[in-house]
Structure 1
Amino acid sequence: MFTQDTLHQGFARGGRDAALKILAAIDPVTYGRDRSSLDGHVSRLSPYLRHGVLTLAEVRDAALTHAPRTAPSRVWKYINELSWRDYSVRVYAEVGDLIWQDFGPYKTGLPSSAYAHEFPADIGDGATGAACIDAWSRELRETGYLHNHVRMWMASYVVHHRRVWWQAGASWFITHLIDGDPSSNNLGWQWVASTWREYPYLWNRGNLLKYAGDRYCAGCPLADSGCPFDATYAALSARLFSGKEAAPGESGHLNPENLKAVPWEPPPTPEHVPGAVVWVHGDRLSITNEALAGYPESPATFVWDDELLKTWTISAKRQTFIHECVQELPVHVLRGDVATEVIRFAHVHGATTIATTPSPSPRFRDIVTALSEVGLTVQVWPEPVFGESLTPLDLRVHGDYWRQISASAFGKDPAPPKAKRPRAKKVRPTEAEKA
C-alpha cells in the first residue's frame, strides 16, 4: 500500500501529545453554531477517538470546562455529537459483521440489484469533471480527512447519482480515512443510502453554496451547464428515484427488535493477576490504556494485523498515524496473525493471563476466542464510560439512546429518560389562506 500512497503523512500526527494539543484548542461553543460550514469550528479529534488515543469521556470533560456548570447547554451540541460515536460503537458491538449488510431496503423505489458493486474509477481518481467531487476525492486521498458534511455529500453522490452499492463507497472511505472504522463510517453510509433511514439523503447546489461558498462552483466546468446538483430537491428526487419507499419484495438483514433492549450495566474492573502480559490493539493506542495502567511493570505487545491490513488495504497515512501512536507506548511491536503472536508472546513470558481493553469488532472476539481455546485467560479492562443508563439501551434510533444516557453524558447521575415530545403535525395552508 505504501507504493500506492506516496504521501505517508495525513492531516493528523499520531500520539497522545499531539492529541492533547488539539484537545486543548477545541471551541465547543462555537462548534454548536457553525459545525456544518466547511470553515466551521470542527475539532478534528476523530482519529484520536477512533484509535482510543483519547476517550469520549475525557473529550466530554474537556468540553464541559467551556461552559458553566449551571449552563451546560452551551456545549450541548458538541457533546450530543460525541454521543454519535458512542452510539455507533454500541450498535457495531451488537450487529458485528452485519454492519456490512443492508439493515433495511433502499427507500428509493429501486431494488438493491440496481446498484453497481464496483467503485467507479473516475471518482477514486478525482476525474468526474465535477469540481466539488474531484476536490473531495483528492482531499480524502491526500490528507485522510473529510469534513462530516462533505462525507454526506460524497456518499449521496456515489449512491444516488452514480447508483453504486454503499458498501463500495464505505470501503473506499475506510482505506483512506485516518478515522475510518466500520461503526461510524458504515452507519453513516447506510443513513445516506436509506438502508437505515426512512428516505434517502440528497443535497443540491444551493446547499453546497450555503455551507462551502463558491470555492468549487466558481471554477467548475459544469457550473453553467451539466451540474448534476443544480436543481430543486423535488426535481432531484424525481430524476434519481422511482419513489421514496422500498421496491416490491426488497427487505433488509437486520431485525430492529435485536437493538430494542440491549442489556447495560457498568463494566467491572478485573482484579490484578501476577504474571499477566498486556495486549494493546488499535482501538486503544494510548499511554492511558487501562490494561497498561493495570499492569505498569508487565511486558506488553502490539501486533500489526496482516489480515486486517490486507482486507481493508489501509493507506500509508493511516499506517503512519498508528505507527506514531504505537511509538509512544511501552510495547514490543510484532507483526503477523494477531492471535498466534499474542499466544507466542504469552508463552515466552510464562503468562497465562492476557490483559487488554474492549473492542466492538467481531475480529476482536475471534482473537479472544482463539486465546481462550489454548488455555489463556483474557481480562478486559474497560475504559471510562461516556454515558450510563438505568435501563437496557434502545439502540434502534439514536434519539432514544440519547434520551437514556444524556444526563450522565453531561457528568450528572444517570436519570430515567424523559418522555418523548409528540411531533406537531405541519398544517398546510389552504389556497384561500395563502391568498
Structure 2
Amino acid sequence: MPKLPASLPASLRDVPPAELFLDVFARDLQHRGFARGGRDAALQALAVIDPVTYGRDRSHLDGHVSRLSPYLRHGVLTLAEVRDAALAHAPDTAPSRVWKYVNELSWRDYSVRVYAEVGDLIWQDFEPYKTGLPASVYSHEFPADIDEGTTGAACIDSWSQDLRETGYLHNHIRMWLASYVVHHRRVWWQGGASWFITHLLDGDPSSNNLGWQWVASTWRAYPYLWNRGNLVKYAGERYCASCPLADAGCPFDATYAALSERLFEGREAAPGESGHLDPASLKAVPWEPSSTPETVPGVVVWVHGDRLSPTNEALAAYPEGPAVFVWDDELLKEWTVSAKRQTFIHECVQELPVHVLRGDVAAEVIRFARAHGANTVATTPSPSPRFRAIVTALEAAGLTVQLWAEPVFGESLTPLDLRVHSDYWRQISASAFGKDPAPPKPKRPRTKKGQSAKTKT
C-alpha cells in the first residue's frame, strides 16, 4: 500500500466496528449475523450452491436456497459470476435445468435498474393501495410487539427474532411477514421496509422496497395474502404446533376470500387515491454497454459499500494506487444499520487494500485525493441517489470521476422496458444465459381458460 501522507489520520481498517460505533453495538446485542463477510466466505458459499434442486424446492423453508444475497448486495460477488457458477451445473444442451435460478438472479438486476431510474421515489407509493383503503389509514408508527417478537403468534414472533438475531429471512418468510405488517396490522410498508434494512445483511432500497411495494399492492394489481394452509404447505407444523393461537385466534386460519373480506374494503384503489410513479418513465430506459475508461496518472480509488470485493474493477485498474473506504456516518444513522451489518461490512473491508476513514463521504474522499495529489477518483457505479450526490460533490471540488463497471448480467438490443419484470426478462434472457443478445420473443396472447389461442372463425 502507498505511503500514508502526513495530512491523513491513521486508517481505521483494523479497528473493530464495536469500537467505532459504541451506541449501535450497545443497542443491538447480536453483533454477528448468519454469514461472515468477505470474498473468501463468499466463494465458499458459491461453491456449494445447488441451482438444479433450487428450481424444485426454493419456496419451502427447508429448500435449497443459496443465501448469497449479502454478497450480491455488497458486490462481493457479481450477478454475472453467480450466473456463470449456476450454468456450470448444467450441460450446454440443457441450460433449462438452472433456468429458475438464473431467472431469480435477474430480479436483483431488475430491481437495481429500477432503483437507478426512480431514485428516492423508491420510498414513495408507486401506485395507490389496491385494498379499497386510503394511504392515510396505514400507521406510520411501527408496532413494538412486532419489532420485539411479542405478538403471540408463533410464526410472526419467530420470524421477528430470526431477523433481529441473524440478519436473514427466507424469501417466502419476507413476503409472509410483510403481508402481516401491512395488511393485518395496517402499517405503512415504508416502516416495514426500514425495519428490514436495519437488520438484513442484504437490505437495500432496491430489492427490499420493491418487494414491500409488491406485497402492499402499491406496485401490483392486488395485495399479497397468505393463510395457515399456505404456511403449513411450505413450513410444515413447526410454528403451529407450539402456537398458543393454533386452536383459537389464529389470524391466518381462514380462506383467502374470508381474509380478503376481513382485511380490505375492496380490491381496487380507494376513490381519490393516486401513486407517485409515471409508468412511462420506465417504458424505454436506454441500454448501452458500459465503456471502459483509460487508466491515467494521478488517481485514487474510492471503494464504497456496493462493491466490497478484491475484484473491484477500479482496484483492478489501479492495483498500486491509493484506495479509500469511508464509513458513511450519515447513512448509517439514517438507516439505523445494525451491528450485524456493520460487522459484515467490516469483514469485507478487511480483505481490501484500502485506507479506512469515517464521516462525510464526499469530504473524506476529497481530503484523501488532495493528500495524495490526485485529480481523478476511480470508483464503481451505484444506483443510489446518494452515490450520485457524492459524485457531484467530487466533481464540484475539481476532481474527475471515473466509473469502472462490473460485468453485466444481461444485455439488450433495445431500450429496456422496466415497467414489469417479465418484459425486462424477455429482453435480456438470451444474454443472461451466456448467449449473444437476441430480440425479445413476441408475447403469447392470453386466452380464456379452455379457449384456443388461434383466432376463431
Q: What TM-score do you get using the length of structure 2 for normalisation?
A: 0.93
What is the match of residue 80 of structure 2?
A: 57
Q: 1:385 is matched with which residue: 370, 389, 408? A: 408
Give the Cα separation in 2 of the matches to 1:381 and 1:45.
Answer: 23
For the pair 1:251 / 2:268, whether they are aligned, the reply is no
- Determine helix, strand or coil for the equivalent of 1:279: strand
For the pair 1:225 / 2:222, whether they are aligned, the reply is no
- Determine helix, strand or coil for the equivalent of 1:313: coil
Alignment of structure 1 residues 149-168 onto 2, 5 Å: 149-168=172-191
In structure 1, list runs of 5 or more residues that go unmatched.
Answer: 429-435
Give the Cα separation in 2 of the matches to 1:277 and 1:153.
Answer: 45
Q: 2:284 is matched with which residue: 249, 261, 266? A: 261
Q: Shift of residue 6 of structure 1? A: 1.4
Alignment of structure 1 residues 17-32 onto 2, 5 Å: 17-32=40-55
Q: Shift of residue 423 of structure 1? A: 2.0
Alignment of structure 1 residues 121-160 onto 2, 5 Å: 121-160=144-183
What is the match of residue 60 of structure 2?
A: 37
Alignment of structure 1 residues 56-75 onto 2, 5 Å: 56-75=79-98
What is the match of residue 237 of structure 2?
A: 214
Alignment of structure 1 residues 92-107 onto 2, 5 Å: 92-107=115-130
Identity %, equivalent residues: 85
Structure 1 residue runs of 4 or more that deviate by more than 3 Å after TM superposition: none
For the pair 1:77 / 2:130, whether they are aligned, the reply is no
Q: CA deviation digits over 1:216-243, x for unaligned, max 9?
A: 0001000000000000000000000010
Give the Cα separation in 2 of the matches to 1:379 and 1:264.
Answer: 19
The residue type paired with residue 204 of structure 1 is N
What is the match of residue 431 of structure 1?
A: none
Alignment of structure 1 residues 390-401 onto 2, 5 Å: 390-401=413-424
What is the match of residue 376 of structure 1?
A: 399
Alignment of structure 1 residues 343-382 onto 2, 5 Å: 343-382=366-405
Q: 1:170 is matched with which residue: 162, 168, 193? A: 193
What is the number of residues matched between the two proteins? 428
Q: CA deviation digits over 1:160-215, x for unaligned, max 9?
A: 00000000000000000000000000000000000000000000000000000000
Q: Shift of residue 141 of structure 1? A: 0.1
What is the match of residue 425 of structure 2?
A: 402
Q: CA deviation digits over 1:85-106, x for unaligned, max 9?
A: 0000000000000000000000
What is the match of residue 16 of structure 1?
A: 39
- Determine helix, strand or coil for the equivalent of 2:212: helix
Give the Cα separation in 1 of the matches to 2:112 and 2:392.
Answer: 20
Give the Cα separation in 1 of the matches to 2:372 and 2:39.
Answer: 28
Give the Cα separation in 2 of the matches to 1:388 and 1:169.
Answer: 33
Alignment of structure 1 residues 268-417 onto 2, 5 Å: 268-417=291-440
In structure 2, list runs of 5 or more residues that go unmatched.
Answer: 1-23, 452-457
Note closer, same or farther for the CA distance 1:351–1:317 as it changes in structure 2 (3 Å cut): same
- Determine helix, strand or coil for the equivalent of 2:181: helix
- Determine helix, strand or coil for the equivalent of 1:355: strand
Q: Shift of residue 421 of structure 1? A: 1.1
Q: Shift of residue 427 of structure 1? A: 5.8
- Determine helix, strand or coil for the equivalent of 1:426: coil
Q: Shift of residue 424 of structure 1? A: 2.5
Q: Shift of residue 76 of structure 1? A: 0.2
Give the Cα separation in 2 of the matches to 1:90 and 1:197.
Answer: 18
The residue type paired with residue 237 of structure 2 is D
Give the Cα separation in 2 of the matches to 1:141 and 1:274.
Answer: 46
Give the Cα separation in 1 of the matches to 2:246 and 2:110.
Answer: 39
Give the Cα separation in 2 of the matches to 1:139 and 1:424.
Answer: 43
